[in-house]
Amino acid sequence: MPKRKRKYKRVLLKISGEGFCPENSSGIDNAKFASIAREIRNVKNTGVEIAIVVGGGNIIRGAILSKSGIDRTRADQLGMIATVINAIILQDSLKKLKIPACVLSAIQIQNIVEPYGAQKCLNCLKEGYVVIIAGGTGNPYFTTDTGAALRAIEIEADIFLKGTKVDGVYSDDPLTNPNAKKYTKLKYMDILEKKLGIIDFTAISLSMESNLPIIVFNLRKKHNIEKAVTGSKIGTYIGNN
């Protein structure tokens, strides 16, 4: 793919846990990590500063685990630990490509990852690191979508990129409803009023309050991260306009 010029100076990329696992399965797929790392390398080479919030659903989903009888707070904490596992593997995949990367976590795991702080994140970005942010918000009952929106606002990212397994926001689940309509552009309130479940409503509310634009796109398509960063029209754009 020809080298493109960046549109944004600093981006926050959210990668759900499903981005790291085999198709229609769970667990850890090293090939997925390696593929995403190569995509991130291409983005980094455009000169953009990139912070990445990772999910952990490929390993544990707190909300689902709690239904088995485990205390919800404890279940969510285990989900946060799962995000740290994904973050460390992604860091290792980037380092194999000679891309400097660090992991900052909202939950403290001494001697393994460093604690998250907005200023520390900004310093690392300015020093040329890809910053991988784990642990969500550090609190139970909040999704990693909300954590991603919060971190994007804290570091003053130009755009919140949400990578998913579908190529945008639809009126219904396109995997089960072939007649679902794809939206190319939406306002924040459209997500709330239409109850479109592609992104957590708390994340939408935070983004709306801070006028943080969002692009929802298919992470699994090659070069899509780079296309999003360079301003190509992919996925669904969510904002005030």
pLDDT in single tens digits along all 241 residues of the chain: 555 677 899 999 999 998 898 877 788 989 999 999 999 999 999 899 999 999 999 998 888 888 889 999 999 999 999 999 999 999 999 999 999 999 999 999 989 999 999 999 999 999 999 999 999 999 999 999 999 999 999 999 999 999 988 899 999 988 889 899 999 999 999 999 999 988 999 999 999 999 999 999 999 899 999 999 988 889 999 998 7
End-to-end C-alpha distance for the chain, whole angstroms: 30
Predicted pLDDT of residue 72: 94
Predicted pLDDT of residue 22: 80
Give the C-alpha separation, 23 to 137, whole Å: 27
Predicted pLDDT of residue 42: 92
Predicted pLDDT of residue 24: 74
Whether the CB-CB separation of 37 and 219 falls below 8 Å is answered with no
What b-and-e string marks burial along 92-116, b requiring 16 or more CB atoms within 10 Å of the CB?
ebbeeeebebbbbbbbebeeebeeb
Report the 10 Å Cβ neighbour count for 179: 8
Whether the CB-CB separation of 136 and 164 falls below 8 Å is answered with no
User: CATH number of 10-232: 3.40.1160.10, 3.40.50.150, 1.20.120.430, 3.40.190.10?
Assistant: 3.40.1160.10
* Residue 45 dihedral angles phi and psi, to the nearest 5°: -70, -15
